[in-house]
Amino acid sequence: MARDVRAARDGVVLRLEQGGFVAAEEEADDLLAAADGDGARLDALVARRLTGEPLAWITGRTEFCGIGLQVDPGVYVPRWHSEALARRALARLPADGLAIDLCTGCGAVARFLSTRRPSARVVASDLDERAVACARANGVDAHLGDLFDPLPPLRADVVVGVVRYVPAPDLPLLQRDTLTFESPLSYDGGADGLAILRRAVAGAARVLRPSGALLLELGGAQGDALGGDLAAHGFVDVTAVVDDEGDVRGVEGTLG
Ligand SMILES: C[S@@+](CC[C@H](N)C(=O)[O-])C[C@H]1O[C@@H](n2cnc3c(N)ncnc32)[C@H](O)[C@@H]1O
């Protein structure tokens, strides 16, 4: 690395460390790459990051399950903790099957599924037009509207969703800066966090084939609370989706 580039990098790392960013070295590398050798641009990008704006909005890129994705400002940045759910959805999707990705955001889960099952059909929905545009830019067949409403009539093998599930009273407890930049539309699950999850269960029961799979991200204790809805809509073999560290990340059920 040339001396002036190293000096610029050291300066960015220091500013990020002083701003309390724990992954300062990695972030500095991403910001330097996005600035592409333009010092003034680098300063502007670092200044944005120091306000707490998501790194992916500044660089325009992120990774999910090893796949590079475009992320536009305002669009939810996919989280690593959703990868366990996406991998379970992949495991349940036949090679020529059909999957629905509810609340697709930038299209991370849908894009992962269609990359790994190129002969499958994957359709997606989101209520936010910035998200739909971003998902389409990522090659996803994304539709604008509420849950299943904007989708064509179809029979699915898999319904997967990283829907909003944070109980409204807990929204102020989200990590620093979250709602300074991101929309409650990505988080607010109503009084008990289950409002969208319940509608997703009911809708999935209408569109899934028998033996089709429903996979929904949720918080640890919400699986039990959703159990009654899953049973009432005919889902059997309901299990928790657990990540590599043993944390519950979602629920999986099969339409009986
Ligand atoms: C937590 S984000 C998840 C995005 C994406 N699945 C991911 O993991 O990166 C939730 C997304 O749901 C969208 N959304 C919220 N309510 C919705 C609804 N009723 N129907 C469709 N999309 C909705 C938001 O715009 C947001 O993009």
Helical residues (DSSP H) of 19-138, grouped into ranges: 24-35, 39-50, 55-59, 83-92, 108-116, 129-137
**For the segment 93-102, what is each residue's pLDDT rounded down to a tens digit?**
999 999 999 9
> What is the reported pLDDT for 158?
98
Q: Which of 101, 127, 215 to mutate to test the pocket of ligand 1 (most atoms within 8 A of CB)?
A: 127
Q: Any idea of the CA torsion for 40, 45, 47, 49, to the nearest 10 degrees? A: -170
Average pLDDT value for residue range 188-210 = 97
Confidence grade of residue 4 (pLDDT, cut at 50, 70, 90): confident
End-to-end alpha carbon distance in the chain: 59
Confidence grade of residue 27 (pLDDT, cut at 50, 70, 90): very high
State how far the Cα of 32 lies from the Cα of 4, in Å rounded to an integer: 12
Angle at 48 between CA 46 and CA 52, to 5 degrees: 105
Residue with tokens 């918080």: 219
Confidence grade of residue 248 (pLDDT, cut at 50, 70, 90): very high
Atom of ligand 1 nearest to the CA of 199: 19
Average pLDDT value for residue range 211-236 = 95
Residue 85 alpha carbon to ligand 1 centre in Å: 15
Average pLDDT value for residue range 207-216 = 98
